[in-house]
Chains A and B, each alone.
Chain A
Amino acid sequence: MTKQDFLNEFTEALELDEGDIDFSTPLSEVENYDSFAIISVIALIHKNFGVQLSGDDLQNIVSVNSLIEKIGAEKFNG
């Protein structure tokens, strides 16, 4: 999965349209980033990377960029 694919799937998990958020959008300002969305993001990351992030981790994540760092940038294919 590329970082761009991840951003697209992340955007979809939040039920937003493509382009509504970018890699550095502060997630604290994204209204759709609620408990429903966090569960969808846990599933997205588990499915693609076999990693389970905690709700607290995801609640405190600043942006998609910092989430990619948390998962491990080396796990992405570009």
Chain B
Amino acid sequence: MAIIERIEYFLPESVISNDDLAKLTTRFSSEKIKAKLGVSNRHIAGEDETALDLAFEAAQLVLKDADPQSIDFLLLCTQSPDYFLPTSACVLHEKLGLRSDAGALDFNLGCSGYVYGLALAKSLIHAKMASKVLLITSETYSKHIHPQDIPNRTIFGDGAAATLVVDSPEPGIREFAFGTDGTGKNNLIVPAGGFRKRFDPEAPADFDDNGVLRSDNHLYMNGPEIFNFTIKAVPIVFEQTLTKNGLAIEDIDWFVFHQANKHMLKYLRTICNIPEEKFIIDMEETGNTVSATIPIALSRMYREGQLKKGQRAMILGFGVGYSWGGGIIDF
């Protein structure tokens, strides 16, 4: 069986505050950003600092008391890879000095990535293909966002989290529920840069339907439609996750959903009937770090003595794809 042994995270040094962003627009004040999104600051990767670099730093932290040679498999979730090829995980494998008989692969998911990553790590361990898996979720959406797209710059921050998943006689990572709906692909997308639509340095920047300046080389998010997707998908996967684990809300100590934004989280909590004191909203200093929000929140809870050994958490990720999933973790 598989348990989470340790989670660490790394944030880039540079911080952008609400005041910094409010100066660039007449649309929102610093206070409004905090009230609606629950974000005061977000860390932003430097020009030459990539998701792979953040992943390396987070991995170093989680491996502080562990031998890198003990890792059997490296899983790296990112949508900001260094290259089309080679795979970032292969580059990271070398930088971390992992064994040559250790596997390494990237998987491309956004806000659901951590849930999928834990499910993959657990599967590798249950199938006896690994006994120690290093799972990293690392993201730098700031590099996808147009510099003048202030709404998205208020929401997203960069960051990486590293999780050690190990074989154990005790069950830790329990059952999962998943979901996918590709019809939502156009509502959260970087349209150009792949092979469907090539990167065009001359792509014109224009105001989109949300009044946001961007070109096809940049991130587009249809906030209202993402909200509509979320309030439809999350209550269903929430119930499925409980049912698959044979659990009820009162059996769970903490509900750690993807930290999308405060307003959305508060509404999801209401429609899922989750007690407020069990529901985590912790993104004030980080923003929405995509696939890293859940492990960052878990790591901070553990560090602050909020999450204790013997406790049980539901994690639930949802977003770009659309892709979503939920799972139960015993710590």
A interface residue numbers (CB < 8 A to B)? 15, 34-36, 38-40, 42-43, 46-47, 52, 54-56, 58-59
Sample of 12 A–B contacts (CB below 8 Å) = A34-B27, A35-B151, A35-B223, A35-B224, A36-B263, A39-B263, A39-B264, A42-B231, A43-B231, A43-B267, A47-B267, A54-B225
Which of these, A39, A46, A47, A56, contacts B223 with CB under 8 Å? Answer: A39
A15-B32, A39-B224, A56-B209 known; 13 new pairs, CB 8 Å cut-off, are A34-B27, A35-B151, A35-B210, A35-B211, A36-B28, A43-B227, A47-B270, A54-B228, A55-B222, A55-B223, A55-B224, A58-B224, A59-B224
Which residues of chain B are near A46, meaning CB under 8 Å?
Answer: 231, 271
- Give the distance in Å from the alpha carbon of A63 to the alpha carbon of B291 in the complex: 39
Beta-carbon nearest neighbor of A40 in chain B: B263
Beta-carbon nearest neighbor of B36 in chain A: A36
B198 close to A (CB within 8 Å): no
Which residues of chain A are near B36, meaning CB under 8 Å?
Answer: 36
- Give the distance in Å from the alpha carbon of A59 to the alpha carbon of B224 in the complex: 10
Which residues of chain A are near B27, meaning CB under 8 Å?
Answer: 34
Given known contacts A34-B27, A40-B263, A46-B231, A54 and B32 CB-to-CB distance under 8 angstroms = no
B interface residue numbers (CB < 8 A to A)? 27-28, 32, 36, 151, 209-211, 222-225, 227-228, 231-232, 263-264, 267, 270-271
Which residues of chain A are near B223, meaning CB under 8 Å?
Answer: 35, 38-39, 55
Minimum CB–CB distance from B260 to chain A (whole Å) comes to 11
- Give the distance in Å from the alpha carbon of A43 to the alpha carbon of B269 in the complex: 12
- Give the distance in Å from the alpha carbon of A58 to the alpha carbon of B222 in the complex: 13
**B263 A52 Cβ-Cβ under 8 A:** no
Beta-carbon nearest neighbor of A36 in chain B: B36
Which residues of chain B are near A38, meaning CB under 8 Å?
Answer: 223-224
- Give the distance in Å from the alpha carbon of A32 to the alpha carbon of B25 in the complex: 14
Minimum CB–CB distance from A14 to chain B (whole Å) comes to 12
Minimum CB–CB distance from A73 to chain B (whole Å) comes to 23
**Interface pairs A-B: 8 shortest CB-CB:** A55-B224, A39-B227, A43-B267, A35-B223, A38-B224, A36-B36, A35-B210, A52-B228
Which residues of chain B are near A56, meaning CB under 8 Å?
Answer: 209
Minimum CB–CB distance from A39 to chain B (whole Å) comes to 5
Beta-carbon nearest neighbor of B227 in chain A: A39
Which residues of chain B are near A39, meaning CB under 8 Å?
Answer: 223-224, 227, 263-264
Which residues of chain A are near B225, meaning CB under 8 Å?
Answer: 54-55
Minimum CB–CB distance from B110 to chain A (whole Å) comes to 19
- Give the distance in Å from the alpha carbon of A15 to the alpha carbon of B151 in the complex: 18
**A55 B228 Cβ-Cβ under 8 A:** yes
Which residues of chain A are near B231, meaning CB under 8 Å?
Answer: 42-43, 46, 52
Which residues of chain B are near A34, meaning CB under 8 Å?
Answer: 27, 211
**A52 B270 Cβ-Cβ under 8 A:** no
Which residues of chain A are near B222, meaning CB under 8 Å?
Answer: 55
**B209 A59 Cβ-Cβ under 8 A:** yes
Which residues of chain B are near A55, meaning CB under 8 Å?
Answer: 222-225, 228
Of B32, B151, B223, B232, chain A has the most CB atoms within 10 Å of the CB of B223
Of A34, A40, A55, chain B has the most CB atoms within 10 Å of the CB of A55
